[in-house]
Structure 1
Amino acid sequence: MPVSRLLVVALAAATALMLSGCAGGAGDAPAVDPVGTWGDPAAPGTPSLELFDDGTATGTDGCNRLVGGWELEDDGEVDFHGFASTLMACPGVDVWFVGAESARISGDRMTVIADGGVILGTLERGGGATPAPGAGTGGTNSSASPDPSASAGAIAGTGYVGTWGEEADRSPYLVISTDGTYTGSDGCNRMTGRWEIDDDGSLEFDDPALTRMACEGVDQSLSRLDSATIEGDALVVRDDHDAVLATLPRTA
């Protein structure tokens, strides 16, 4: 084959390869990694969200604990689904995160979107939270705890604070926090709520919220939790009929 023809064939092949590469890349969504903490969970009265690599999520709208699921769509948008929350009233706390349906991530910023494409606000990875103009419900009260009574109960029950059970796949566990809230799993579904100390010294679980996944072969008894006591170095969890649901060893 003449050299000139070889050059023409080579140039044509290179051009076709370049064009196909451009065409394939033009429609690709940018790579994003939603897993991690968005907002500051330690900042009272402000929303935050933690996305786990198993497709579950926990967080707060600044007042109520949230638990649910998420999925990364082909276009790079994060879709939220199955969210449940506690039902506390927190006067003065801007719960603009309520109504979140999806989110877009650019760098270390998550833009939270409601149904209809309305932008609610933004969460920074490991940082702050900012409501969109006009999206708030009354101004963020960042100087006060959303539930002072819960904090007082937490101080009275510091012996319960900690992690009970192993935070492992298909294993029940509870994390009792000093702010009067708890998170955990029944081995299948994520759960969250509030707790307080009863007159008899036992721990009482209030306002539970949990996801609604089906997990075949998993004992989900812990989802019926009502109260708990410490026996030795274990948390004994009971239902509202005082039947033992689980005995969780202290792990942290």
Structure 2
Amino acid sequence: MGRRRFLLTMVAVGALLAGCAGGTGAEKSPQPALPPATGSPGPADPVALLGNWTLAGVADEPHGILRLAPDRIQLFGRCGILVGSWRADAGGLFVAGMFGSSGPEGGPRCTNTEPNPQWLQRVTSYRLEGDTPMLLDADGALVARLRPGATPTPGPYLAASEVAPPEITDEVRRQFAPAAALPATLTPAAGDRLVGRWVPVSGPRRAYVEFKADGEWRGSDGCNGQAGRWVVGSGGALLATTGPSTLIGCDGVPVGAWLASSWRAGLAGETLVLLDARSKETGRLRRAD
């Protein structure tokens, strides 16, 4: 995540997604609302989210540990170890999506083949209270507290370095530094303006991105299906995660990489312009016909 292009690709998607997650249908939380129009109030420093945390306030994970490293998110919980990607910014936005698992299954309650926990899908922002990050939903309600000092067990599936507290270097701080403002020539793209199907301005018509109102996006580079989570904020802030993709070779458009490297989104008339942290264009899309 951060300032680099982040697109995880795997050939055997079915094998990756075979890990358990989310619980039974009866335990699902309500679908999240439309991504919020602004970030949460109060101090927001995404670097402060890096670490190993004990989850508090999440009924589905009474003993869960959340590890936030610069390049991944890991949940050590009742369904083994879930792995995914996450992003956060200095405006208080937060988005994460699990797409795989490792380790033994967590028992009979872990029967859902979708690895993205419902409680995590609800999180769209964060706030810091001292050394305790608070993960919040679209209405600003508390979803989880992250208490410091957790110690995940590596076991036979992960090396000790993969569960140690992440090192915070100058490069990491640069990766999470505030993004450049949206150019004045563009109109900030609000969530309700983004929902729907978009295609690249140029390139194969098979490529597309569909932003859904529940915070999920799906798309294709023209050959390979892709998906992730998204959230928008004030000033055109846009954060999106990506999950695994197939590896069919073709002359496509890397829409997943566009989203994963974008920090701002603005509208030039009816054209959606995606921008990286330095306000350089990553891609242009238009509404699908």
Q: TM-score range by the shorter chain?
A: 0.3 to 0.5
Looking at secondary structure, tell me which structure has more strand per residue. Answer: 1
What's the TM-score once normalised by structure 2's chain length?
0.36
What's the TM-score once normalised by structure 1's chain length?
0.40
Larger RCO, structures 1/2 (Cα 8 Å, 6+ apart): 2
